[in-house]
Amino acid sequence: MLEPALAGAALPGPLLDAVLDAVLDAGRPEALGVLARSEALIAARPGLRDVLAATGYAEVARVAIPWHRSGQKAWPLRARRSVLAAARGSGWQGSQGVLTGLLKASEPERLRAAVVCPLPEAARTALKRAGRALTRAEQLRALLTVHDHEGAAAALALLGEVPGLRPEVIETVREADAGALRKAVELAEGTDGLIEELYDDRLPQREEHLALRDLVDWDAIAAADADRPFDETATALLAARPDCPDELRAAWYQVRGVAVATHSARLDPGLLALTPGGPRAARAVGLLVRRGLDSGFTAAQVLESARPAAAVLEAVRQPPGGGGAWNDLASRLADLVRDRLGADVEAWRAVRALLSRFGGTVPELLDEAAARAAAGPKPKSGGWPGAAAMPAGERSASVTGARAAFLTLLDAAPAATHAALLAQLDDRTVCDLFGHGRWRPEWIDLVMATRDTRHVRVLANRGSLGAEAIELLMRLDDPVVNGRLFRRTGATGPQRERLLSGRPVREDATEPLPLPAELVKELMGRTSGWRARDAVNCADPELQRHILSHVRVRGIVPQSRMLLNLWERHGVAKVIDLLDNEPPAVSHTRRVIRREVRGTMRRLLAGKDRDAALAELRAQVVAGETAEWQITELRGQHFSGAELFREAHPWHWEELLAEHARDPLPPLVLAGLSRIPECPEELRAESAELGDYDTPGEVLLWLEEGRTPQEILRARAVSHDLGTWVRQAIKYGGLTWDDVLEYGHPARQVLTVWGGERLRSPLTRLVRDNLDPSPEAWVLALRMLPGFTGSVAELARTAAAATGVAPRPHTETK
């Protein structure tokens, strides 16, 4: 019964801590085994694994040392050794015992931890079956375990039975001196043995062997490294220890910079002034700067100490989400750029020329650039430093090195500076700025005012372009730009539809816009990512047929609109061709044109007056696309997954919002609308809050009889179909979440339906007043929960009373 709570059920942190304390105090092996299986709890509560391992119970060991191939990940070596060293109680031996299964394992890594186990045959078997793979410390520890728990003679007898024992191990045991053996174990399990293991690059998971040492002699480590340098893996492992001295980290940073910058447990700002060693020095600087800003370095320390400037600027180009130091750095950098460079083209030219070879800090770089710009008289400047051509398709895939550093400086400058520089920048830098720079709304006006159409097309290539920017760029009515805008993931459904329609956006434009041939060619090869409205208004008949093969246009009105558009644009012959030769449905099973639509079209086409037929079709479509038609259809729905919500209508969202404000739409309608990508966030949020169930009929009858919501909760057992009514009652008055805890029943169903943030605050108050004073009350409440028929509040008070807790006075909600 306790397993859901012990496995990390949705209980507030302090309350779960109380449960854990009660279970640990009780010391029941089966409950501790449940705790051990909860990876979420183990991850969230440092130290819990060690506490469980120290119990030595077989139930914990089954989790820590899975000997069968269950796919379950074993615990770290230190924890496995801990539970084996403390082994006690039942469940270890016998045909189903944990140790029995472990000792059948063939992999040395599974047997390694058994060298400390005092149970019969454990250490002996580990030596015999995995001896060659064991370290000197593990071999000696296994022999000492046998010596202490199976007799000294047994350890000596093993010398002839174990293959792969190291000569120094054999020599130690042959002395038959327990003191010498213990001394050898102490040395091997200390820094002396650690150094030997760190040099052994064949030893799997060296970090686990390092973790076995609580204390490390760092002077000995430094001396060993001076005599024979550790490899990069060993250096990283040592630097990752919190007790590694700063002086040693600094020395290693100048030899193996990336390893230290990546793995160091503690970063000293003094490292910023040092030159990292190794083949990837710039990467080391970047790692150090980014980690440092996240863990305590100030912006001033980074800007004034870290070098070279290009590596620093590249590292800070994309902040990981902001934060105090990151925000301060952005502000300081903006001030430096404004004061040193401003909108001076020659200063910017100088800083770009210096970036690739300048070894100083960022302020020093900007000072030098400003000085060069002011030196005059200026020689003829020539082309832009590091100039490169426009990439294919006017789109740069990535920005690195000096280009990334320069882009960081451009990001720190205002849009007015970009406007001053735009005519001077090389084509590749323009691509870098508009494609990867920090977004500025002012860029839209900037590129629309330029006479260089490439700038507009570069901006239209920006992957993160939002719907608002897309709408503004669509006003250019440039077919090439439109083709690129259609590819943007930020384009809304109506925007995609308009871009494929070939209709201009400008009101004074009348000529249709042709779809670029390269866009059509590309889209003809696309088999996924289509929306139904893409096909409804597509101006290219062949592309339209391709889209129809891969996505269904649902709904009579949308299909009729599609055929009307085809007729008006390309003539009745194209309509007849589509009806007679439907494209094959590749990604769906039904025919492209619905039977009802096909019947209507056959009737219209059978008449002699095609103009009258076209007018009749147009009238039908216009009537079916009105807001009034949509509202009527929505209010007639009885299921949130109804076909209407999947039909390709151009929804009238403003009118639907107004209608909802006048007379709220049913929750199931809100739920259906919320699945449409363009649904306004206001409706989506309300749907998430309310759910999509109708109020049960019996509840409606009780409300008509005048019963209060509290009385209804008393009378009716809680179920999922009651959830929407309760949330509506809370939203619109008459009920609170405290009422739900007081009157809703049974308790388990209440917590199941509403478990989470909604009940967190009132539930915290309830259990704090009734259960927190006593772990026994907690345990009893959790035991009673599955079958308790009363409310959550009654459950808490009952458990408190049964365990002698004096709860605070409870005032019943009226």
Write down the pLDDT at residue 18: 60
pLDDT band at 376 (very low <50, low <70, confident <90, very high): low
| pLDDT for the residue numbered 443 | 96
Summarize pLDDT for 153-162 with one digit per residue, the tens: 887 788 778 8
Alpha-carbon distance of 386 to 401, in angstroms, equals 12
377/427: higher pLDDT:
427
Q: What are phi and psi of 441, to 5 degrees?
A: -60, -30
Surface-to-core class of residue 397, CB atoms within 10 Å of its CB (0-12 exposed, 13-18 middle, 19+ buried)? exposed
Q: How many residues can be counted in the chain?
A: 814
pLDDT score for 74: 85
Give the whole-angstrom CA distance, residue 74 versus residue 65.
Answer: 5
Q: How far apart are the first and last CA of the chain?
A: 34
- pLDDT at residue number 379: 56
Residue matched to tokens 């700025």: 433
Question: For 246-258, how does the pLDDT look when each residue is reduced to its tens digit (9 = 90+)?
Answer: 999 999 999 999 9
Q: How far apart are CA 299 and CA 121, in angstroms?
A: 60
pLDDT class of 807 with cuts at 50, 70, 90: low
Least confident span in 16-30, 57-71, 76-90, 407-421: 16-30
Q: What is the pLDDT of residue 575?
A: 96
pLDDT one-digit tens code per residue, 522-532 = 999 999 899 99
The residue-averaged pLDDT of 376-403 equals 81
The pLDDT of residue 814 is 37
Q: What is the pLDDT of residues 557-582, one digit of tens each?
A: 999 999 999 999 999 999 999 999 99
Cα(584)–Cα(212) distance, integer angstroms: 66
State how far the Cα of 667 lies from the Cα of 731, in Å rounded to an integer: 13
The candidate with the shortest Cα–Cα distance to 112, out of 83, 132, 85, 134, is: 134
Predicted confidence (pLDDT) at residue 771 exceeds the cutoff of 90 = no
560 exposure class (CB count in 10 Å sphere: 0-12, 13-18, 19+): buried
**DSSP secondary structure of 637-689:** ---TT-GGGGS-----HHHHHHHHHHSPPPHHHHHHHHTSTT--HHHHHHHHH
Which pLDDT score, from 0 to 100, does residue 275 have?
A: 94
Rg, the chain, Cα only: 37
Query: If pLDDT is split at 50, 70 and 90, which confidence band does 10 have?
Result: very low
pLDDT band at 1 (very low <50, low <70, confident <90, very high): very low
pLDDT bracket for residue 761 (50, 70, 90): confident
Q: Is the pLDDT score of 757 beyond 70?
A: no
738, pLDDT greater than 70: yes
| pLDDT score at 59 | 94
CA distance 453 to 495: 22
Residue 352 vs residues 130, 346, 406, 487, 776: alpha-carbon distances, Å: 61, 10, 7, 33, 70
Mean pLDDT on 320-327: 84
Select the more confidently predicted residue: 364 or 636: 364
Share of the chain above pLDDT 90, in %: 63
Mean per-residue pLDDT of the chain: 89
Please list, in sequence order, all residues whose beta carbon lies within 8 angstroms of the beta carbon of residue 153, skipping any fewer than 6 positions away: none
> What one-character DSSP code corresponds to residue 813?
P
Average pLDDT over residues 261-265: 96
The more confident residue out of 58 and 770 is 58
How far is residue 231's CA from residue 366's CA, in Å, rounded to a whole number? 38
Encoded amino acid at 547, one letter = I
What gap in Å lies between CA 804 and CA 788, rounded to an integer?
19
Distance CA 418, CA 443 (A): 9
pLDDT at 277 over 50: yes
Say how far apart CA 566 and CA 552 lie, in whole Å: 17
Burial degree of 268 (CB within 10 A; 0-12, 13-18, 19+): middle
| Cα separation, 302 vs 274, whole angstroms | 12
Mean pLDDT of 723-732: 76
Of the given ranges (25-34, 278-287, 613-622), which has the lowest mean pLDDT? Answer: 25-34
Using CA atoms, how far apart are residues 83 and 60, in angstroms rounded to an integer? 8
* Spatial separation of the C-alpha atoms in residues 128 and 122, rounded to whole Å: 10
pLDDT for 679 beyond 90: yes
**Quick check: 549 pLDDT over 90?**
yes
pLDDT for 7 equals 47
Q: What is the DSSP secondary-structure string of 589-644? A: SS-SS-HHHHHHHHHHHHSS-HHHHHHHHHHHHHHHTSHHHHHHHHHT---TT-GG
Span 70-83, mean pLDDT? 86
The model's confidence at residue 537, banded by pLDDT at 50, 70 and 90, is very high
172 vs 159: CA distance, rounded Å: 11
433-469 confidence digits (pLDDT tens): 999 999 999 999 999 888 788 899 999 999 999 999 9
pLDDT band at 68 (very low <50, low <70, confident <90, very high): low
Average pLDDT over residues 546-553: 94
Closest to 107 in 3D by CA, of 136, 133, 81: 133
Please give, one letter per residue, the 3-state secondary structure of 433-496. HHHHCCCCCHHHHHHHHCCCHHHHHHHHCCCCCCHHHHHHHHCCCCHHHHHHHHCCCCCCHHHH
pLDDT at 17: 64
Supply angle C-alpha 145, 151, 157, rounded to 5.
90
Distance CA 530, CA 501 (A): 15
Position 19 scores a pLDDT of 65
Give yes or no for residue 382 having a pLDDT over 80.
no
pLDDT digits (tens, 9 = 90+) for 655-667: 999 999 999 888 8
Nearby residues of 218 by Cβ (< 8 Å), 6 or more positions away: 243, 244, 245, 248
Tally Cβ neighbours within 10 Å of residue 486: 23
pTM of the predicted model as reported, rounded to 2 decimal places: 0.76
Tokens encoding 813: 């909600």
Residue 504 CB: number of other CB atoms within 10 A?
A: 18
Distance CA 587, CA 580 (A): 20
Which segments of 128-245 are extended strands (E)? Answer: none
pLDDT of residue 641: 80
Q: How far apart are CA 58 and CA 100, in angstroms?
A: 11
Cis peptide bond N-terminal to 377, omega within 30: yes
pLDDT tier, 9 (very low <50, low <70, confident <90, very high otherwise): very low
- Percentage of residues of the chain with pLDDT beyond 70: 93
